[in-house]
Homo-oligomer: A and B are copies of this chain.
Amino acid sequence: MSNLNKDNVVDLFLNPRSVAVIGASKNPIKGGFRIVNNLVINNFNGKVFPINPNARGSVAGLKFKKSVLEIEEEVDLAIFYVPNRVIPGVLKECVEKGIKGAIIEASGFEEVGEEGLKLRDEIIKITENFTKMRIVGPNCMGLTRIDKSSNEGDKGGFFSSFGLFSEYKRGNIAIISQSGMLNGGYLVFLFSKYPDLGIRYSCSIGNKMDLSEIEFLEYFLEDPTVNVITIYLESFKDPRKFINLARKTRSLPNKTLILLKGGITSQGQKAALSHTAALSENSKLIEAIIKQAGVIQARSFHELFQLARTFSMIYNSNKTLPKNGNVSMITGTGGGGTVTADLAKQYGLNFPKMSDATYSELVSVFPEWMPPNRFALVDLWPAMEKAAMNNIPPPKISGKVFNALMNDDAIQGLFNMLFCSSKFKWMVDVDLMLQHVTNTKKPTFFWLIGENDEVMRLTRLFNENNIPAFTDLHEMVRMYKALVEEAKNKSMNEHAN
């Protein structure tokens, strides 16, 4: 899987031809076993050399070597899974061998104070200030590149995390993270919770002693397989460069940048200091950076990935970002409509007045005693009752209303409530609905309530078709608002150019 961006040093780390695993192990509960095993079982398309001076025999069919100096072939990259104090000695051998990059997973560096700072200085000396060798980490969980979906049988990619990756899917999302959790437990959670979620890269950058978010961001901006770049940061390595790269992102029609910044409060900064040695940053400064950069900001990991999932689907389905906050809704419950109207307003979204043509279409399917609203919030219940009385299949009515709203120039997108029930299937024609949604460039989000099993089944079906579906109105509205924000970001850039 070669990349267009061979000049960027990140290519060495994400597409190495050969890797040495320092601290490889035969013991299945050890991370040094799992790193080798992940590479082998997932068909990494390169050479793997397990290194451990104390091990005999082989792991995953590969013979141990005592040192990288025993390897005859060229080695691109070393993955270090050994305690911090052992690192300098082995690193010297790696430099001697001519290895150009190292991923260091151990903690116990800048974040632990004096002893860690001494270790860091040693590494700087050995690598001649990172000229002989580039470093990712320390205090990280490695890098992951996903080429295929594991259930295709024909796997592929590069895996340097000791997390377990047995189920995964390739997609258009790249993750850059100062929390190893995202490359470990959280990714496992996401892949098992959302079987349709695809990831292209997941990069744990730890204390970023050398490489940081900057190089990875540059790399992903050039990579056409990536649409959504998801970042968790505890500190900005270079705020000015970050802002410039964020601005560049805005100029690219197929890229969106989503940021969760940890340490935006004094309390968070105290926590970040002991985690990745992130220095305190002034909250006002952080705010200014985020505002100037024009990125989509998340407040929790859950929100970060709901945003990533949503944008991923929007890009996959080639929808148009909404030009403004004028949205519409079809609901079967007035209470759901009222609460959505409140939330929408709070997020700056409006249900505009429909055109006369749209209104006429709606009037024709509503009972006389209960005409529709003039504004684009449609409580469909009376129309469904009328249809049932006249022996018209209700899905025909909802389809007609859907198309009328989507053809209205005043409306940029739609919220669609769906009651999910195995007992009331006649009320809904999901195939017909999918057709309608696929036929418009305007984004449609679904709000699902009903029997949980049916909600889950339809969520998966919608996601397979790149249609976002939610059970929480607040989340649905927040996600839609992000699309509007991003459209605004991109148009700001147009005006600037």
Q: CB within 8 Å of B: which residues of A? A: 84, 107-108, 112, 115, 164, 177-182, 185-186, 188-189, 192-193, 232, 234, 260, 262-268, 270-272, 274-276, 299-303, 333-346, 350-351, 369-370, 373, 375, 377, 379, 381-382, 419, 421, 423, 449-453, 455, 471-475
Beyond the given A234-B338, A299-B474, please list 19 additional residue pairs across the A-B interface where CB-CB is below 8 A.
Answer: A108-B370, A177-B335, A179-B338, A185-B450, A188-B449, A189-B452, A265-B341, A267-B344, A268-B338, A268-B342, A270-B341, A271-B341, A274-B373, A275-B379, A300-B343, A300-B473, A301-B335, A302-B473, A302-B475
Say whether A333 contacts B180, CB under 8 Å.
yes
A233 to B451, CA, bound (A): 24
Chain B residues with Cβ below 8 Å from A370 are 107-108, 112
Say whether B333 contacts A189, CB under 8 Å.
no
Tell me the smallest distance from the CB of A57 to a CB of chain B, in Å. Answer: 23
- Given A179-B334, A300-B473, A301-B473, check contact A449 B275 (CB 8 Å): no
- By secondary structure, the A interface counts as helix
| Minimum CB distance partner of A346 in chain B | B265
Say whether A182 contacts B335, CB under 8 Å.
yes
Say whether B472 contacts A302, CB under 8 Å.
yes
How many copies of this chain?
Answer: 2
A127 to B379, CA, bound (A): 31
Interface centre among A338, A343, A345, A350 (most CB of B within 10 A): A338
A108 to B381, CA, bound (A): 12
Interface centre among A185, A193, A450 (most CB of B within 10 A): A185
A313 to B417, CA, bound (A): 30
- Given A369-B108, A451-B188, check contact A339 B473 (CB 8 Å): no
30 residue pairs bridging A and B, Cβ less than 8 Å apart: A84-B369, A107-B381, A108-B370, A112-B370, A115-B369, A179-B336, A181-B333, A181-B449, A182-B335, A185-B421, A189-B450, A189-B452, A192-B452, A193-B452, A260-B339, A262-B339, A263-B338, A265-B346, A267-B345, A268-B338, A268-B339, A270-B375, A271-B337, A271-B338, A272-B334, A275-B337, A300-B339, A301-B335, A301-B339, A303-B474
Chain B residues with Cβ below 8 Å from A473 are 300-302
Chain B residues with Cβ below 8 Å from A346 are 265
Q: Which of B188, B270, B342, B452 lies in contact with A264, CB distance below 8 A?
A: B342
Chain B residues with Cβ below 8 Å from A300 are 339, 343, 472-474
| Minimum CB distance partner of A418 in chain B | B185
Tell me the smallest distance from the CB of A423 to a CB of chain B, in Å. Answer: 6
Chain B residues with Cβ below 8 Å from A343 are 299-300
Q: Which of B270, B335, B453 lies in contact with A178, CB distance below 8 A?
A: B335
Chain B residues with Cβ below 8 Å from A475 are 302
Interface centre among A178, A180, A262, A471 (most CB of B within 10 A): A262
| Minimum CB distance partner of A139 in chain B | B334
Say whether A181 contacts B335, CB under 8 Å.
yes
Chain B residues with Cβ below 8 Å from A453 are 192
Tell me the smallest distance from the CB of A342 to a CB of chain B, in Å. Answer: 3
A266 to B344, CA, bound (A): 11
Chain B residues with Cβ below 8 Å from A419 are 185
Say whether A471 contacts B302, CB under 8 Å.
yes
A350 to B272, CA, bound (A): 15
A472 to B305, CA, bound (A): 11
A253 to B263, CA, bound (A): 37
Chain B residues with Cβ below 8 Å from A471 are 189, 302
Q: Which of B84, B189, B369, B375 lies in contact with A449, CB distance below 8 A?
A: B189
Say whether B268 contacts A336, CB under 8 Å.
no
Tell me the smallest distance from the CB of A474 to a CB of chain B, in Å. Answer: 4
A333 to B274, CA, bound (A): 11
Tell me the smallest distance from the CB of A447 to a CB of chain B, in Å. Answer: 10
A435 to B234, CA, bound (A): 35
Say whether B189 contacts A335, CB under 8 Å.
no
Tell me the smallest distance from the CB of A228 to a CB of chain B, in Å. Answer: 19
Q: Which of B274, B350, B423 lies in contact with A379, CB distance below 8 A?
A: B274
